Homo-oligomer: A and B are copies of this chain.
Amino acid sequence: RIKASGLKLRFCTNETQSTRGKFVEKLQRLGFNISVNEVTAPAPAACRILKERNLRPHLLVHDDLVPEFDQLDKANPNCVVIGDAADNFSYKNLNEAFRVLIGLENPILISLGRGCYYKETDGLKLDVGVYMKALEYACDVQAEVVGKPAKMFFQSALAEMEVEPQQAIMIGDDIVNDVGGAQQCGMRALQVRTGKYRSV
């Protein structure tokens, strides 16, 4: 209906366990008419930042997310990018990311989110934010967070649509990541009472 009205539309997701392609397939199966270009997600946003700043990432992400970084030079890394790597968060892999970071003269840590945990059918799972904190403490650095509720993330979606913040409205179920983040960068926001919403 939003599409039919002629309004510009972007799906903003913090999904970092798979590519936008997979994400779009899932939404299409649920009946949404949506294409990859209409999705703003942390990984492609990070890619833009990495290119702009000539950064070559060491990746600690989910296997299914790796293709989003295909176009980037990853030899001789000068930063670390972490996403929700799930089982890839082994002691071995975290040590490797740590060694790259601690070995840099100017350590840069980019995190595809700051979430603590999420729920899956088999229980609660630790999210990327927890491992971001671990590396921040180990290397005495502050991570740059890409994804909701970061201002930069919403601004990048607005820029793609060529729309000013005050012309846009964010619709989401998360009071902090969706509503709070959008308001912080001058957008209006609407909280829906579906998804993770719980009345207090």
Using a CB–CB cutoff of 8 Å, the interface residues on chain A facing chain B are 85-92, 94-95, 98-99, 102, 116-117, 123-126, 129-131, 133-138
Contact = CB atoms under 8 A, between A and B. Distances in A.
How many copies of the polypeptide does the oligomer hold? 2
Contacts of A88: 91
B99 A123 contact: yes
Contacts of A89: 90-91, 94
Contacts of A136: 133
Contacts of A98: 117, 124, 126
Given A91-B86, A91-B87, A138 B116 contact: yes
Contact of A134 (B95, B123, B124, B134): B134
A171 B198 CA distance: 56
